[in-house]
Amino acid sequence: MTNENITSVLTEKRTFAPNTDFINQANLIKKEYERLLWKSGTDFEGFWAELAEKNIFWFKKWEKILEWNEPFSKWFIDGKTNVSYNCLDRHLKDKSNKPALIWIGENKEKRNLTYRELFVEVCKFSNALLKLGVKELDRIVIYMPLIPEAVVAMLACARIGAVHNVVFGGFSKEALADRINDSKAKIVITADGGYRRGQIVPLKTNVDEALKKCSSVEKVIIAQRTKNKIEIKSDRDLWYHELISNLPADNPAKELDSEHPLFILYTSGTTGKPKGILHTTGGYLLWTTITSKWIFDLKDSDVYWCTADIGWITGHSYAVYGPLSCGATVLIYEGAPNYPDWGRFWEIIEENKVNIFYTAPTAIRAFMKTGDEWIKKYDLSSLRLLGSVGEPINPEAWMWYHKNIGKEKCPIVDTWWQTETGGILISPLPGVIVTKPGSATFPLPGIFMSVVDKNGKEVKPDEGGFLVITKPWPAMLRTIYGDDERYKQTYWKRIKNAYFTGDGARKDKEGYFWLLGRVDDVIKVSGHLLSTMEVESSLVSHPFVAEAAVVGYPHDIKGEALCAFVVLKQSANTDHHLFSEELKNHVSKEIGPVAKPDQIKFTESLPKTRSGKIMRRLLRDVASGKQTLGDTTTLEDVSVLEKLRAEEEE
Ligand code: PRX
């Protein structure tokens, strides 16, 4: 790990202070923010105790706030609570008839579920799971389109203490099989199909294929969505709607330990297979609840829309658990932003009078490219707050979002966090913080972060370094499922006494954090974290391919795009152009369309160090058309690089 790639060239000077109207109604105001900062600095555990008491319903109060044996933490020890209870039951008194979910289908269907209705659905489905013999701690895979049943399934697992493992519906059968096997899931909940840009995604067929390689699964539950023809295995498969009919509409939420596992969610790692990030109950619930309140400024009257799919952490924390725990009205949309046209999101905002809108820079950049006419057609005046997540938002995109969507009146919260952090750690507080386009601003109260060199020493203002977290926080991952050692090695061994995020950052002279992207071989494409290693191993699984190296290069819309350098086997006598397409499709089939390389470059050999490590840094330069400025002395054979460049120029 070196510092060499982390140079920051941004010199953004514009600032935006919160306006008085917003400040006057904000959930968190400056005085309270300052008190919280002070309290977290002077009485760390007291700070968390106060928040946990005020924001969460506990069946039994905790005995102790924190047990910290680096890198393992336990929060709210001996406290008993239930996430589903906090998201549903506690709102029934005041909000029974308030919409909890507004669901919009790709074909413009709409379903509203009030808090009472969602509660009933969750109770029924959790009764169904119990009837199938699901026990506390059993793992349940959810591989579904974004339909209300998917949210119901998550909350039903939480209600009975089963551990869900949501697998993004865009993942292939291979990726699904790996995730089922790693978590040893007992049940898979899926749908007959899902809609994506007018096509049917054959979810159930993918499950059938995946299960040929998975022995742990006893039952498959199928929600009916597309009504396409599917095969039913009578001893294994059950229809969701048949299963819940006639089941009781009540099921008391289990009183679970604060450290009871809530879910596993797989994320790409730099090396090896995907990592099963494990989150638990009390701490995760507390942090997603208060960050939703503070950052999104949720009010009872708001319609809140987070565009993320539940297959990602953003969907877990800010489309389901955080906002429902706050009693908000949450909109979820099944389809793509450009189906049937690029006006779809704005039409949804107009029709549903959305007040708070949380999306990703990759979507924002795509909208910028398609032009303003789609936006001008719709009335976006209901919006009062905008959010961004998933990758650095470049100042041009920030300004575009501010002007065209926020009409210069909505604060923008650029929220930095990770699957591992469970909830947002760096973000402006919309009624308090002066924003700078492109900066996620400051760590939230209770969160201690720093930018350091490889020895863990804080770097000077405006110098690039590694972003680390120096104190535990309640929503932190507890481990990598089934692999404590990998958890230690990945996050806690690279920088002493700190959690290493894998990101580069710099702090400016006023202490604002500027994120600089990943420092290793993980790439963010369209907001999805991909490990280069996984794409490489998929390429190499093609019989013609001898070796492959994958790197990212800057891309206008996706943020980063994938370039694959491929060495063919001698026996592979193929037309490069045709084969390039075949290889792209091969990866798309194996991992999923997000992982499909944008470019494939065939080469005779790859640049390697003497110890045999591929020098991806050099390949990144070639892919992005840059001259190599860095050190090439460790390169085993310099002519490889020259040849690569020559091939480029041909
Ligand atoms: O590199 C950072 C980037 O996304 C990574 C985490 O990805 P994932 O686990 O998929 O979670 C995404 C949704 C929380 C981080 O290590 N990232 C996320 N948000 C931002 C960001 N980079 C810059 N600015 C952000 N706001």
CB 76 within 8 A of CB 67: no
- 440 CA: nearest ligand 1 atom: 26
Q: Report d(CA 551, CA 349) in Å as an integer.
A: 37
Choose the weakest-confidence range: 82-96, 301-315, 543-557, 606-620.
606-620
Instruction: Express each pLDDT in 136-159 by its tens digit.
Output: 999 999 999 999 999 999 999 999
pTM over 0.85: yes
Determine if the peptide bond prior to 554 is cis (ω within 30°): no
Q: What is the mean pLDDT of residues 503-528?
A: 85
Q: Is the dihedral of CA 130, 165, 424, 501 positive or negative?
A: positive
**483, burial (CB in 10 Å: exposed 0-12, middle 13-18, buried 19+):** middle
Judged against a pLDDT cut of 70, whether residue 334 lies above it is answered with yes
Name which of 536, 355, 483 is nearest 430 in CA terms.
355
**H/E run at residue 449:** strand 449-452
Q: DSSP label at 435?
A: B
The pLDDT, as a whole number, for residue 2 is 38
Please tell me the least confidently modeled range out of 242-256, 398-412, 529-543, 593-607.
Answer: 529-543
Structure tokens at 566: 């491929």
Report the candidate in 267, 306, 319, 286 with the shortest Cα–Cα distance to residue 155. 319
Q: Token pair for residue 301?
A: 């009257």
pLDDT, position 643: 76
Candidate from 388, 393, 418 with most ligand 1 atoms within 8 A of CB, to mutate: 418
| Average pLDDT for 426-442 | 97
Whether residue 521 is predicted with pLDDT greater than 90 in this model: the reply is no
Angle between helices 282-296 and 44-55 (to 10 degrees): 80
- Cβ count near 21 (within 10 Å): 10
* Residue 303 Cβ < 6 Å to ligand 1: no
Q: Which residue has the higher pLDDT, 643 or 108?
A: 108
Return the pLDDT at 591. Answer: 81
Q: 378 Cβ partners below 8 Å, 6+ apart?
A: 343, 346, 347, 349, 350
Determine how β-strand 412-415 pairs with β-strand 528-531: unpaired
Confidence of residue 12 (pLDDT cuts 50, 70, 90): low
At 189 the pLDDT is 98
Centre of ligand 1 from the C-alpha of residue 211, in Å: 32
* pLDDT at 641 > cutoff 80: no
For 241-299, the pLDDT digits (tens) are 999 999 999 999 999 999 999 999 998 754 557 899 999 999 999 999 999 999 999 99
* pLDDT for residue 13: 80
Q: Which residue has the higher pLDDT, 522 or 470?
A: 470
* Angstrom distance (rounded) from CA 202 to CA 248: 31
Mean per-residue pLDDT for 6-25? 79
Please give the share of the chain, as a percent, with pLDDT higher than 90.
Answer: 72
What phi and psi values does residue 171 have, to the nearest 5 degrees?
Answer: -80, 150
Return the SS3 of 154: helix
Ordered domains of the chain (ranges, CATH): 526-649 (3.30.300.30)
Q: How would you class 456 by CB atoms within 10 Å of its CB: exposed for 0-12, middle for 13-18, buried for 19 or more?
A: middle
Q: Which residues contact 536 (CB under 8 A, 6 or more apart)?
A: 548, 549, 550, 564
Of residues 12 and 104, more confidently modeled: 104
Higher pLDDT, 448 or 594: 448
592 in contact with ligand 1, CB cutoff 6 A? no
- What is the mean predicted confidence (pLDDT) over 201-222? 97
User: Which tokens is 159 given?
Assistant: 């209600």
pLDDT score recorded for residue 272: 55
Specify the residue with its C-alpha closest to ligand 1, atom 14: 418
- State how far the alpha carbon of 443 is from the alpha carbons of 227, 284, 429, 650, in Å: 47, 17, 10, 48
Q: Is the CB of 267 under 6 A from ligand 1?
A: yes
* Residue 176 Cα to ligand 1 middle (Å): 23
Provide the pLDDT for residue 1. 40
What is the whole-number distance in angstroms between the Cα of residue 208 and the centre of ligand 1?
A: 33
**Tens-digit pLDDT profile for residues 57-91:** 999 999 999 999 999 999 999 999 999 999 999 99
Give me the amino acid identity at 203.
Answer: L
What's the helix, strand, coil split of the chain in %, to 5?
35, 25, 40
In three state form, how does the secondary structure of 235-253 look?
CCEEEHHHHHCCCCCCCCC
Q: In which residue are the tokens 């650029």 written?
A: 414
Q: How far apart are CA 555 and CA 596, in angstroms?
A: 14
Report pLDDT for 621. Answer: 84
Two structure tokens written together for 369: 């490219």
Q: How far is the CA of 153 from the centre of ligand 1 (A)?
A: 26
**pLDDT above 60: residue 336:** yes
Q: Examine the pLDDT at 10 and tell me if it is beyond 60.
A: no
CA of 468 to the centre of ligand 1 (A): 14
313 ligand 1 Cβ < 6 A: yes
Beta strands in 12-120 (DSSP E): 64-69, 72-77, 80-81, 99-104, 110-114
Q: In this predicted structure, what is the pLDDT of residue 8?
A: 47
The per-residue pLDDT for 520 is 74
Average pLDDT over the chain, rounded to an integer: 91
- Count of C-beta atoms within a 10 Å radius of residue 89: 19
At residue 631 the predicted structure's pLDDT band, cuts being 50, 70 and 90, is low
pLDDT digit string, tens, across residues 175-190:
899 999 999 999 999 9
- Residue 417 CA to ligand 1 centre (angstroms): 5
Q: Is the CB of 397 under 6 A from ligand 1?
A: no
Q: Cα separation of 95 and 150, whole Å?
A: 22
Q: Is the pLDDT of residue 534 over 80?
A: no
Three-class secondary structure of residue 359 per DSSP: strand
Q: How far, in Å, are 17, 240, 406 from residue 430 at the CA level? A: 9, 41, 13
Q: Which residue's CA lies nearest to atom 13 of ligand 1?
A: 390
Distance CA 155, CA 584 (A): 37
From 426, 529, 558, 594, give the residue whose CB has the most ligand 1 atoms within 8 Å, as the site to mutate. 529
pLDDT in tens, 342-365: 999 999 999 999 999 999 988 898
Q: Does position 533 have pLDDT exceeding 50, yes or no?
A: yes
Question: What type of residue sits at position 234?
Answer: S
pLDDT of residue 9: 46
Residue 650 confidence class, pLDDT cut points 50, 70, 90 = very low
29 CB burial (10 A radius; 0-12, 13-18, 19+): middle
Strand 261-267 to 275-280 pairing: antiparallel
DSSP category for residue 225: S
What are the helix and strand counts (H, E) for the chain?
22, 30
* Strand ranges across the sheet with 237-239: 237-239, 219-223, 187-191, 139-143, 163-166, 261-267, 275-280, 479-480
Q: Which of 527, 537, 475, 468 has its CA nearest to residue 503?
A: 468
